[in-house]
Amino acid sequence: MSYFEGATNEPTVPTHAPAGYGKRVQAAIVDFLIVAAVGIVPIVVFIIGLAAAIDASDKGEPAAGGTMMLLGGLAGLAWFAWQVWLFGYRQGVTGTTPGKRMAGIRLTGIGTGVEPGGGVGVGRFIVPTLVNSVIGVYWIIDYLWPLWDDGNQRVTDKMFKTQVVLDGGPTAPVGGDPIIT
């Protein structure tokens, strides 16, 4: 048996094999830990300012802690803007987040293999937040949806015509069945 036996001259293309649920959960946990680690600072600053203000009002003293509450609030807005940039815009442009890079997966447009773009990334970040504010169980449904979906897509992926795929996965002949790993 030679090295080339069984090889064909057919051109190959990336298969864009859907990422499994386990890899998606891995990426989500890493991303959540990053968001929580960065977000703890503005939350703590705001709470300290709030506690100082409550303590001062209980003692009948002039208001205190307002500056810390303001700084905590501004830091919270900066934290949210950073999330929109990193997990929205940048994910749309590069196809990855820190968690996705660690898990070896990336975001692409369905069937294209190309990153969907910054606008789609921001939409994928903002829309679930807005929908969840109206329908409180949306995030639960959205994150569990890939368990029973044939394409391993979230509801949000379906809305924006995106898919999370294995990064640098195997290739298949053009017109052939994709190799699923």
State residue 166 phi and psi, 5-degree precision: -70, 135
Q: What is the pLDDT of residue 16?
A: 78
Comparing 63 with 108, the larger pLDDT belongs to 108
Phi-psi region of 86 (alpha: psi -120 to 50; beta: other; left: phi over 0): alpha
pTM attached to this predicted model? 0.77
Q: Rounded distance, CA 75 to CA 44, Å?
A: 11
Cα separation, 60 vs 79, in Å, equals: 34
Say how far residue 8 (Cα) sits from the centre of its chain.
38
pLDDT of 44 above 80: yes
Look up residue 137 and give its amino acid.
Answer: V
66 pLDDT band (50/70/90 cuts)?
Answer: confident
pLDDT average, residue stretch 96-118: 93
| 170, pLDDT greater than 80 | no
The residue with greater pLDDT, 102 or 173, is 102
**By three-state DSSP, how is residue 110 classified?**
coil
Mean pLDDT, rounded, for 53-70: 78
Instruction: Give the pLDDT of residue 111.
Output: 78
Mean pLDDT, rounded, for 138-152: 92
Give 9's pLDDT tier (boundaries 50, 70, 90).
low
- Would the pLDDT of 14 be above 70? no
Can you tell me the distance from the alpha carbon of 10 to that of 64, in angstroms, rounded to the nearest whole number? 73
